[in-house]
Structures are given as structure tokens and as C-alpha cells.
Amino acid sequence: MTQWIDACATDEIDEEDLVRFDHDGRTFAIYHSPDGEFFCTDGLCTHEQVHLEDGLVMEYEIECPKHNATFDYRTGEAKRAPACVNLNTYRTKVENGRVLIEV
């Protein structure tokens, strides 16, 4: 059973950046893309479970701060070693200036 969770305000995330969001013992990364859309993935890199919150967002990719593994945050696809496993992604929507994620 999924539910929509209020994660953050839209203006809390710069364009081409991300924030960390923790909920119910789980951790997520929420992204603001260059064209103004919001996306959500698991917060931890699939390579060695390092949090992506300090990573670098370049266009539609997030680079892990520890080993530079890269993922497309729209699809979760692992684009560059050492990550080989894709990130889980979650649907998002914006309501009244808030970003909601479906978990």
C-alpha cells in the first residue's frame, strides 16, 4: 500500500541539486532538475551505501560523493562504475509549493 508523503518545500532545493529526506527509517534523495521537475530515488548509492546527499547533480545525473558512481535520477539507471545496480525511484508530485513522494 503506497502513500504520498510530504517531503520538502519546492524552494528548499536549488535547480540541479538535491536534498536528503528521511522517513520511517528509510532515506531518500529528492532532486530538482534543470527544467524544474522533481524526482526521488533511494538515498544510498547501490555500490557501498554512501548517502548521495553530498553528491554532484549534473543535468539529469547524480554522482556519488565517495567513488563517483553515476546514476540517472529520473530512471535510477546506473550509468558509471563502480555502481552496477540501479537505484529505486519513486513518483513525485508538487502541491501548494510542497514536494510529495509516493512510498
Q: Does 92 bind other proteins (CB under 8 A)?
A: no
Residue the block writes with cell 504520498? 4
Pick 16 or 92: Cβ nearer other proteins: 16
Contacting residues for 37 by C-beta, under 8 A, at least 6 apart: none
Q: Does 56 bind other proteins (CB under 8 A)?
A: yes
Q: Does 70 bind other proteins (CB under 8 A)?
A: yes
Cα separation of the two ends of the chain: 8
**C-alpha to C-alpha distance for 20 and 18, rounded to whole angstroms:** 7
CB distance 9 to 97 below 8 Å:
yes
Q: Does 8 bind other proteins (CB under 8 A)?
A: no
Q: Which stretch binds other proteins (CB under 8 A): 5-13, 27-35, 59-67, 87-95?
A: 59-67
If phi over 0 gives left and psi between -120 and 50 gives alpha, with beta otherwise, what is residue 94?
beta
CB distance 45 to 56 below 8 Å:
no
From 80, 91, 93, 98, residue interacting with other proteins (rule: CB under 8 A): 80
From 22, 49, 91, 93, residue interacting with other proteins (rule: CB under 8 A): 49
Q: Does 88 bind other proteins (CB under 8 A)?
A: no
Residues near other proteins (CB under 8 A) are 17, 47-49, 54-56, 58, 63, 65-68, 70, 80-82, 84
